[in-house]
């Protein structure tokens, strides 16, 4: 049976459902890395990432009116230490940074392996092209094999950075 998945932009009304997914992600990470204390990102999502009017672009996957996955990214100046300093691009609305960084993708466990992550990635790539960016990239931990497979299937080039990969797609 094929799921009827709708991919669309995040809206403020989706906040609580996305935060529920963030909690699920944090719970999975806590199970996977039992010796590491996972700091909750709920406040960051609520007060920064999902706050209207900032640089972050979030798209969601919806099945039967329930948010089952999300992908978040932002226009990047190519230097994480600079990117992390601002939430609103301090530039003219006529200029767009050449790169777009895919910060995180998450799909709820019961909905995995059904093509949802790939649909989210395809949608963000279309968005990035329309915005005039020249490249989209992600940095992914080597243990995150499912995400690496999805992104590689979309023709992203892989570069080994030691403990993670940088996956890049030139547009």
Domain harbouring 132, CATH code: 3.40.630.30
Q: Provide the residue range defining the domain that includes 67.
A: 5-170
- State the average pLDDT over residues 29-53: 90
Does residue 81 have a pLDDT over 60?
no
**Would you state the pLDDT for residue 89?**
57
How many C-beta neighbours within 10 Å does residue 92 have? Answer: 7
Q: How many domains does the chain contain in total?
A: 1
pTM (global) more than 0.85: yes
Does residue 109 have a pLDDT over 60?
yes
HSE of 126, CA atoms in CB hemisphere, 13 A: 9
> How does pLDDT run across 144-163, given as a tens digit for each residue?
999 999 999 999 999 999 98
The Cα 79–Cα 83 span in angstroms is: 6
Secondary structure letter of residue 102 according to DSSP: E
């Amino acid at each position: 049976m094929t799921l009827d998945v709708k991919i669309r932009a995040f809206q403020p009304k989706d906040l609580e459902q996305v935060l529920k997914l963030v909690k699920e992600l944090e719970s999975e990470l806590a199970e996977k890395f039992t010796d590491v204390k996972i700091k909750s990102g709920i406040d960051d999502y609520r007060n920064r990432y999902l706050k209207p009017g900032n640089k972050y672009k979030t798209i969601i996957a919806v099945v039967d009116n329930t948010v089952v996955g999300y992908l978040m990214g932002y226009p990047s100046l190519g230097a994480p230490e600079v990117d992390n300093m601002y939430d609103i691009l301090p530039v003219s609305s006529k200029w767009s940074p050449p790169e777009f960084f895919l910060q995180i993708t998450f799909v709820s466990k019961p909905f995995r392996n059904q093509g949802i992550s790939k649909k989210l990635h395809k949608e963000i790539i279309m968005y990035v092209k329309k915005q005039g960016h020249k490249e989209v990239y992600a940095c992914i931990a080597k243990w995150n094999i499912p995400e690496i497979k999805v992104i590689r299937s979309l023709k992203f080039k892989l570069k080994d950075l030691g403990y993670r990969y940088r996956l890049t797609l030139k547009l």
